[in-house]
Amino acid sequence: MNSGNIHGKVVLITGASSGIGETTARLLARQGATVVRDGGVASCHEVDVTQKDQVEKMIAAAAAQHGRIDALVSNAGLMALSPIASGKTGEWDRMIDLNIKGMLYGIAAVWPVFEKQKSGHFINIASIAGLKVAPGNTVYCATKHAVRALSEGLRMESRGKFRVTIVSPGYVESELMYGTSDEATRNGVVEAYKQNAIPADSIAGAILYAISQPDHTSVNEIVVRPTVQEF
């Protein structure tokens, strides 16, 4: 893989204090990118992405410090799985706020930066849960279906100006497996991850691949699963 198009790029990553985000930040930094994350390689910001003003301040600060932002990786998210009958509306609200609104706040804030520099790359982390629905995963699946729909609309509306990539992981080592408070569901999720999960650097490599393409080429969607995963 030619990673020559990475060197010197300014990449902002949300949800980068651990898991996929942290691993991606470290990989891109090793390849010569300048990484800004809400959790530091080149610079670090403590941000709640559900708070629009905090997201706007982070992006404004990154653009002022580095002169540009070449890519936004919207990775922050929550996977709180439970049956609909459990009525865990607080967790549903939190997933909607993080997985959908948090991504949208970043897109809205960075769009003017991309417009000014006449280039940019949106990378949105979805999930295989955005490709199909499973019982007990319904609300989480809905948020990740939304990520894919929003990303496709973003691609169409920014056609000819910016690149858009959806990355949909399967079972990947991260803290996501612990986001479920429903005990029965949580036990099943943790066990499935322990048996099947692949390293986070598998997703980091996919993100690196998408960013490293020539500016005239957009990799629109990447699905990365463990070979053994059926779902």
Residue 231 has a pLDDT of: 81
pLDDT tens string 7-23: 999 999 999 988 999 99
Residue 228 has a pLDDT of: 93
CB of 75 closer than 8 Å to CB of 15 = yes
pLDDT tens string 94-150: 999 999 999 999 999 999 999 999 999 999 999 999 999 999 999 999 999 999 999
Domain boundaries, the chain: 10-215
pLDDT tens string 163-188: 999 999 999 999 898 998 888 888 99
Q: Amino acid identity of 178?
A: Y
The CATH number, out of the four listed (3.90.1150.10, 1.10.1060.10, 3.40.50.720, 3.30.450.20), of the domain defined by the range 10-215: 3.40.50.720
Give the pTM: 0.94
Q: How confident is the model at residue 221 (pLDDT cuts 50, 70, 90)?
A: very high
What's the mean pLDDT in 191-218?
Answer: 96
How high does pLDDT run on average in the chain?
93
Per-position b or e across 185-201, b if 16+ CB within 10 A of its CB: bbeebeeebeebbbebb
Q: Amino acid identity of 182?
A: D
User: Does residue 105 carry a catalytic annotation?
Assistant: no
Of the candidates 140, 171, 193, 209, the residue annotated as catalytic is 140
- Tell me: pLDDT of 192 over 70: yes
- Tell me: pLDDT of 204 over 50: yes
